């Protein structure tokens, strides 16, 4: 049984998305764990590490941005062809509450998909035990990057 089969929320045909995110140094630094992948949708979780805070217990905005970016652009990546990938070309975030608690849950989705450009978004929730609070919303554009034909 492969890793995608052991996690029922990850479409086996899209498990490469989880693997691609796991290879990103920023995702490893943040402790990103992809928990759900389906066409046009990715959900991830990340712990709130004290090293990423700007004051005790409150995550710095750059880490919140990165979680939203990873979730949204990974969702865009679920729609690209074999051997291609999605890369962020712009993004904006609106912080609506402090990112406090034990972790973040970011839910990425595709807003509008094109052959070259995809608009994608993510809602980022601060998690503390069983409670969640929306702390940010991310909106951006991903570009489909095709393999080089050298």
Average pLDDT over residues 90-106: 97
pLDDT of 83 strictly over 90? no
Q: Which residue has the tokens 């970011």?
A: 106
Per residue in 18-46, pLDDT (tens digit) is 989 999 999 999 999 999 999 999 999 99
Q: What is the pLDDT of residue 148?
A: 62
In a 3-state reduction of DSSP, which class is residue 18?
A: helix
Can you read off the two tokens belonging to residue 102? 């034990």
Can you read off the two tokens belonging to residue 143? 């570009």
Report the distance separating Cα 25 and Cα 54, nearest Å. Answer: 21
Per residue in 114-134, pLDDT (tens digit) is 999 999 999 999 999 999 999
DSSP letter at 146 equals P
Question: Looking at the DSSP assignment, which residues form a beta bridge with residue 131?
Answer: 128
Per residue in 44-71, pLDDT (tens digit) is 999 999 999 988 889 999 999 999 999 9
pLDDT of 3 strictly over 50? no
Average pLDDT over residues 88-94: 98
Report all structural domains of the chain as residue ranges with CATH numbers, in order of start.
3-145 (3.10.129.10)
């Amino acid at each position: 049984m492969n890793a995608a089969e052991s996690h029922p929320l990850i479409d086996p045909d899209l498990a490469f998305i989880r693997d691609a995110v796991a290879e990103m140094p920023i995702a490893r630094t943040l402790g990103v764990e992809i928990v759900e992948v389906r066409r046009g949708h990715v959900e991830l979780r990340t712990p709130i590490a004290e090293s990423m805070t700007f004051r005790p217990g409150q995550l710095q905005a750059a880490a919140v941005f990165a979680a939203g970016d990873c979730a949204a652009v990974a969702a865009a990546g679920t729609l690209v062809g074999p051997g291609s990938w999605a890369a962020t070309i712009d993004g904006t975030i609106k912080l609506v509450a402090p990112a406090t608690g034990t972790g973040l849950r970011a839910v990425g989705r595709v807003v509008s998909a094109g052959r070259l450009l995809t608009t994608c978004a993510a809602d980022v929730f601060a998690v503390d035990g069983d409670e969640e609070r929306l702390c940010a919303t991310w909106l951006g554009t991903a570009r489909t990057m095709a393999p080089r034909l050298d």
